[in-house]
Amino acid sequence: MKTFSVKQYQKNDFENWNAFIGQAKNATFLFHRDFMEYHNDRFEDYSLIVLDGEKWVAVLPANVVGNSVFSHQGLTYGGLVYTEKLKLASVIEIFKSVLLFLNENKIVKLHLKLIPSIYNQKPAEELNYALFLTEAQLIRRDTLAVIDFSQQNSWSKLRKRSIQKGISNDFSIKEVNDFEKFWDEILIPNLEQKHQAKPVHSLEEITKLKVLFPKNIRQFNVYEGGTIIAGTTIFETSTVAHCQYISGREDKNELGGLDVLFQHLISDIFKHKRFFDFGISNENQGRKLNNGLSYWKESFGASTIVQDFYEVETVNYKLLGNVLK
């Protein structure tokens, strides 16, 4: 079998990293260095590059905390990223090389939050098998509510009535290039009131990311007259329209504002996509389900896929020694 080498990402790898991400079968714009580094003051980067001689064959977006490495904690998903030309046996050998490299560098555990399958351009679950072989522990599982546009999806009667209510209230829907009103008047107050939390991205950060990725990050707002009452922030990849944030004024949600917005997004704006991802409805590291939120998403015809989180001891590279016959 081939011998792969592993090295840590350095600043002079910036262009090559982004070029590799651009042709990988399981990458999205979140793995672009410009996206990863908008919050580099919060994370100590420990991204890895896997080489076959001088040729890049895989990367691992990652950060380090103590003696543990995480598939980057500032990203929604992660794991090994690789090209479509790699065969299963090669991915197993690559993962072995990564674990060995980490073990030799005094890293005890590798934590991985896998890329949900809908984000892959082609099937790419080779790493899932390698994790099984290395006795990785499943430590968390989130549920994503997803619409598959290749299938017929029925909407509930309740949702249809609410959409009609929104239409009758003559709300207007606009795509905008700024996030200030949604952040300051809707999102931040709602998160504070309901969850005593803040958005993952500050207003400054999401504005910067919009400049860097104008085609991938989009904001849609709902207005009553000239007043914003609801909105959603969409992260768009080649296969998926993902709702990064969804929020509306509590006193206006009963009037159908959010429902008419999502009817517009699903039926018109993103109907050409393979999938529409409402995101998770989980709390407490996946062990609680917000049933009301989950039901609302499912009432648009969404169904469940899961995102898995694993931890694996790096010493378990030894378990991959006799796998291939």
Mean pLDDT of 119-147: 97
For the chain, the average pLDDT equals 95
- 39 pLDDT band, cuts 50/70/90, is confident
Portion of the chain with pLDDT greater than 90, in percent: 92
pLDDT score recorded for residue 5: 97
| 250 has a pLDDT exceeding 90 | no
Which pLDDT band holds residue 2 (cuts at 50, 70, 90)? confident
179 contacts 188 by C-beta, under 8 angstroms: no
196-241 pLDDT tens trace? 889 999 999 999 999 999 999 999 999 999 999 999 999 999 999 9
CB atoms within 10 A of CB 122: 7
Please determine, for residue 253, whether its predicted confidence score (pLDDT) is greater than 80.
no
- Other CB atoms within a 10 A radius of the CB of residue 141 amount to 13
Q: What is the pLDDT of residue 279?
A: 96
Q: For residue 83, what pLDDT is reported?
A: 92
Pairing label, strands 240-248, 48-52: unpaired
Which whole number is the average pLDDT over 161-174?
Answer: 93
Among 144, 167, 10, smallest CA distance to 77 is for 144
Say what the pLDDT of residue 261 is.
97
List pLDDT tens digits, range 57-76.
999 999 999 999 999 999 99
Q: Is the pLDDT of residue 195 over 90?
A: no
Closest CA to 49 of 86, 1, 84, 14: 14
CA distance 186 to 247: 6
SS3 137: strand
DSSP designation for 203: H
The Cβ-side half-sphere exposure at 51, using a 13 Å CA radius, reads 12
> What DSSP element (H or E) covers 321?
none
Give the residue ranges of DSSP H helices in 30-168. Answer: 33-36, 88-104, 126-133, 157-168
Band the pLDDT of 158: cuts 50, 70, 90.
very high
Domain ranges of the chain: 5-141+308-320, 151-273
Q: Name the DSSP class of 164.
A: H
> In terms of C-beta density within 10 A (0-12 exposed, 13-18 middle, 19 or more buried), how is residue 41 classed?
exposed
CATH number of 151-273: 3.40.630.30
Q: Is the per-residue pLDDT at 251 higher than 80?
A: no
Question: 263-301 pLDDT, tens per residue?
Answer: 999 999 999 999 999 999 999 999 999 999 999 999 999
CA distance 138 to 109: 13
* pLDDT over threshold 70, residue 1: no
Domain covering 5-141+308-320 in this structure, CATH number: 3.40.630.30
Sign of CA dihedral 65, 66, 71, 77: negative
As a whole number, mean pLDDT of residues 116-136 equals: 97
What is the per-residue pLDDT across 89-105, written as a single tens digit (0 to 9) for each? 999 999 999 999 999 99
Q: What is the Cα–Cα distance from 313 to 9, expressed in whole angstroms?
A: 22
Per the model's pLDDT, the better-predicted residue between 252 and 145 turns out to be 145
The mean pLDDT of 142-164, rounded to a whole number, is 95
Paired residues of 137 in beta bridges: 311
pLDDT surpassing 90 at residue 40: no
Contacts of 83 (CB under 8 A, 6+ apart): 23, 24, 25, 57, 58
CA atoms within 13 A on the CB side of 287: 5
- SS3 state at 231: strand
For a pLDDT cut of 70, what percent of the chain falls above it?
100
Angle between helices 257-264 and 157-168 (to 10 degrees): 100
Nearest to 175 by CA among 126, 214, 117, 129: 214
C-alpha–C-alpha distance, residues 80 and 93, integer Å: 12
- Interval 41-55: pLDDT, tens: 899 999 999 999 999
pLDDT of residue 187: 97
**Dihedral angle of Cα 46, 217, 302, 153, to the nearest 10 degrees:** -140
Q: Cβ distance 153 to 193 under 8 Å?
A: no
